Amino acid sequence: MTATPEALLQSGAGAIAAAVREGKVRSRTMVEASFARAAEVDAGPSGLNCILSADLNGSLQLVESAPVGGALAGVPVVLKDNIATTMLSTSCGSKILEGYVSPYESTVARKLREAGAILVGKGNMDEFAMGSSTEFSAYGPARNPIDRTRVPGGSSGGSAASVAAGIVPIALGSETGGSVRQPAAFCGIVGVKPTYGRISRFGLVAFASSLDNIGVFGRTVDDAARAMEVVSGDDTANDATSAPLDAPALRTDSRDLTGVVIGRPKEYFPASLPTAMQAHCDRALDALRARGAEIRDVSLPHTDLALPVYYIIAPAECSANLARFDGVRYGLRVEGEGLRGMYEATRSRGFGAEVTRRILLGTYVLSAGYYDAYYRKAMDVRALIARDFTDVWASGVHALFTPTTAAPAFTIGAISDPYEMYLCDLFTVSANLAEVPAMSIPIGRVGGLPVGGQVIAPRFGEQVMFRIAYALESELGGAAHA
């Protein structure tokens, strides 16, 4: 019996692509089913508000030229609204780029298109990716499909929510300090941050260039693996930071972890970690042991410095990158008294409070007299954080397991203190600073809300990371959602 389009959306990217290749369903039908699901859950005062822009006719036109034999044939996808597409606008969740349509296509958008995937929308996000809840979007907060009074995480919350709500089986986000893994944990799906350089950033609007990555969301580990295989790979012609490596083969039928050593870093399991979170992590570690892995206690001694280091480096780089949004070349332009007045009026009206806060902080730490004391010192400590990981790998550990977040999704509006919001990145920023791959996988629920476990691997160690993720997902089964 042929599965319905609605059932295929729930079954995942592999099932959709196979059905399209075998002629059991048309790509057009899958696109229409995706839009129907979005209409059901996304719009209105109580809707998820996870999609900022969409165009059914435009998506159906893409179907006409999409290869039906591709790895993602007929698979509807959502891209975060800071990833350039020529069909839909790229606003970065900001008024300063409202309605802006890129004249060129990002590498990841091109690769998805060539694999047969169909863009159906751009995901809501914290403005310019600066936030941990998608409450800082200029177009209103996104909501968590599990509990609409809660945030979906951020800054890629719209992309995560679109997957968790069944609008699409895969979506792309961006990561600077945890903006894929944290929303994945909050929404009960899989989120992957690759090694820095594994996925081309050509067409990603820059936030902090030494930290930014494009990442992948999937309903399952297999969905995420399929998307990663398509969008990874050498793009040095367009992105100088792209690694000259072919896309790795990440899908595997093996669930055996015999010979794999997984580290449990003590710094990620403080006494303050809630008992319920600790219990879910312990169960996940037991599941990995059951598949043959050895669990070993390890230490990453500079972990407590990661958050302050991140919140020096990221704002500093953001202040430089966002200087281009001045009302002269593109985007919003507000006239003022003279050139300086135009700059001030445009940026004051175009940028929200959180973006303004980070620009000011970054400008301060880069200013004369403070550069050495803050930015240079932060870069020195960043090297120590990276060395912690290198030392652990050298000891024979193949990967690490930690909680993704210390708690499940919080209520919309519950956090007003910026510092408290920054603490949401506590367990995720180190992987960005060290440029290593990491992913979040559902491991259970606390108070009915999803929580995630994080697997971290050495640079370009995505294969062992996915091998562990497949085994963990298989062993936990329904327990991951209980």
Residues classed as catalytic: 80, 155, 179
Residue type, 177: G
